[in-house]
């Protein structure tokens, strides 16, 4: 039986609650209804996104990446009840070794065609093992362009949230990533990252 205790985070797409499930501490993620969408369409979108996220969380474990254990999924209520992972947010305890581990995790996801979609140091928890969170924007793809979007985001995070550590952090991430993906594929993906950055600069100028 689940008991919702308290709201701990309001997001644009979902609210996060701390609760319990048969005596275990849990995180409950509930996707919000959008009043600007027709109700039947909104229900279908939230249902599909809830099921997709739950499926990808389960698939991520098969890659060797640790993610929260799922206790219950309710597509009709657009809710996922999952393990509460105790630990520190990677953003707050970032180290070179941790950057390499994040790179390896990203490589394991990408080599199995999982694009995280929100790759930030706030979505990793340092517990007994590194744990990746929040697959709400995740999807399946083998395209280099999509892998490059993930890497471009973590690069931006390193340059903004970890500015004093940026160069070492990004290089450490890429070492871990290429260890899984391979140097050739990493090189090809990084060319896509540069192209994305060029398009961004060009659009900004226009």
Number of neighbouring beta carbons within 10 Å of residue 169: 27
Instruction: Tell me the CA end-to-end span of the chain in Å, nearest whole number.
Output: 55
Query: Is 118 annotated in the active site?
Result: yes
Tokens representing 110 are 């990408």
Distance from C-alpha of 92 to C-alpha of 199, rounded to nearest angstrom? 31
| Phi-psi label, residue 181: left if phi above 0, alpha if psi -120 to 50, beta otherwise | alpha
Contacts of residue 164, Cβ cutoff 8 Å, sequence gap at least 6: none
Question: What three-state secondary structure class fits 41?
Answer: helix
Task: Give the whole-angstrom CA distance, residue 79 versus residue 97.
Answer: 34
Q: Is-contact 138 163, C-beta < 8 A?
A: no
Q: Pick the catalytic residue: 15, 42, 118, 146? A: 118
As a whole number of Å, the CA-based R_g of the chain is 18
Active site residues: 118
């Amino acid at each position: 039986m689940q008991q919702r205790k308290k709201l701990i985070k309001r997001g644009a797409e979902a609210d996060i609650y701390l609760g319990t499930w048969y005596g275990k501490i849990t995180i409950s993620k509930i996707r919000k209804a959008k009043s600007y969408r027709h109700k039947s369409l909104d229900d279908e979108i939230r249902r599909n996104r809830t099921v997709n996220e739950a499926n990808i969380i389960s698939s991520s474990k098969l890659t060797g990446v640790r993610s929260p254990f799922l206790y219950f999924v309710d597509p009709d209520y657009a809710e996922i009840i999952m393990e509460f992972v105790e630990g520190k947010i990677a953003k707050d305890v970032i180290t070179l070794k941790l950057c390499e581990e994040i790179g390896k995790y990203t490589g394991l996801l990408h080599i199995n065609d999982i694009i995280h979609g929100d790759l930030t140091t706030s979505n990793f928890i340092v517990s007994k093992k590194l744990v990746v969170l929040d697959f709400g924007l995740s999807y399946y793809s083998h395209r280099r362009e999509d892998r490059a979007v993930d890497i471009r985001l973590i690069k931006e995070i390193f340059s903004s949230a970890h500015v004093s550590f940026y160069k070492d952090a990004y290089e450490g991430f890429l070492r871990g990533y290429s260890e899984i993906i391979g140097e050739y594929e990493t090189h090809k993906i990084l060319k896509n990252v540069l192209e994305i950055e060029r398009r961004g600069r060009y659009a900004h100028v226009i």
